[in-house]
Amino acid sequence: MLLNSLLEASEHTTDVVKWISLGAVFLLLGVIAVICIKGRRSYDAKHIAAAGLTLALSFALSFIKISPVTYGGSITLASFVPVLIYAYAYGVVDGLLAGTIFGLLNFISGPYILTPFTFILDYLLAFASIGFMGIARKFTKKTTFNVVLGTIGVYLLRFLFHLISGFIYFAEGAIWVTLPGWAVSNAFIYSLIYQLVYIPADCAIATIALYVLAKTKVLEKLIAIVLPKRKKSESSPEQTSESKEEN
């Protein structure tokens, strides 16, 4: 009954989804245009290629998933990892940009919202939190510690945005659908339980993947490939400190 009720509620927002989807497409095109224009000044071909490749990998991995909960929540095969590496290498601004594009791609591939505000929270702000990884390399001189802490930070921000969105989602259910009485009166708790079912597991997969990559030094090699030669020193604080000691 609950599934049928929520599916019926989704029909009420069909027109909204269509317009937002169209707007998301134009927004995505606008973001790409900004990248191209800025590229003439500060972006080189390697930078743009790295962004495209990491986004493509993340988007592809997002389709390898299991869905322990309905209406959008899923555990993916480390889909955040490629864009997290990109954000770690290039910084906060590029991380925010890549995260936003990744969120829009996810929305366009399978739009499901109840209100326009949940679109902003679930597909823009939650994915833009990837930008937090851009400051992780400045935490310490330990790459492994940085990427683990950075990944957890990203997922905490993502969890917060999804939690607020879920609260709005289930609170709206008091008007549009028939939810259990306790869910309507405790929408925040309902949303909290919902997010805890899948986000911690997705975080664990991404964290373990990046930990292994960092521990085996594969991450440093990947960043060295992604970054232009002039920025290689920024990607590996450990190597920088070692070279200074040698001098």
Answer whether 223's CB lies under 8 Å from 235's CB: yes
Structure tokens at 110: 């399978």
Structure tokens at 100: 């936003």
Answer whether 148's CB lies under 8 Å from 139's CB: no
The pLDDT of residue 78: 93
The pLDDT of residue 118: 80
Residue 68 burial by CB count (10 A; 0-12/13-18/19+): exposed, middle or buried? exposed
Ordered by start, the domain boundaries in the chain are 9-227
Smallest Cα–Cα separation from 80: which of 162, 151, 159, 148? 151
Cβ neighbours for 174, distance < 8 A, ≥ 6 positions apart:
184, 187
The residue type at 118: T
pLDDT tens digits in sequence order for the chain, 247 residues long: 444 555 555 555 556 666 766 677 677 777 767 766 665 556 677 788 888 899 999 999 999 988 776 666 789 999 999 999 999 999 998 999 899 989 988 888 876 666 678 888 988 899 999 999 999 988 998 999 999 999 999 999 999 999 998 888 776 654 444 455 554 457 788 788 889 989 999 999 999 999 999 999 999 998 888 776 544 444 444 444 434 443 4
Task: Report d(CA 19, CA 189) in Å as an integer.
Answer: 31
Answer whether 192's CB lies under 8 Å from 163's CB: yes
CATH number of the structural domain 9-227? 1.10.1760.20
Answer whether 205's CB lies under 8 Å from 111's CB: no
Query: What DSSP string describes the chain?
Result: -HHHHHHHHHHTTHHHHHHHHHHHHHHHHHHHHHHHHHHTTT--HHHHHHHHHHHHHHHHHTTSEE-SSSTT--EESSTTHHHHHHHHHH-HHHHHHHHHHHHHHHHHHS---SSHHHHIIIIIIHHHGGGGGGGGGGS-S-HHHHHHHHHHHHHHHHHHHHHHHHHHHHHHHHHHS---HHHHHTHHHHHHHHHHHHHHHHHHHHHHHHHHHHHTTHHHHHHHHHS-GGGHHHH-HHHHHHHHHH-
Task: Report d(CA 109, CA 94) in Å as an integer.
Answer: 22
The pLDDT of residue 169: 74
Structure tokens at 140: 């310490």
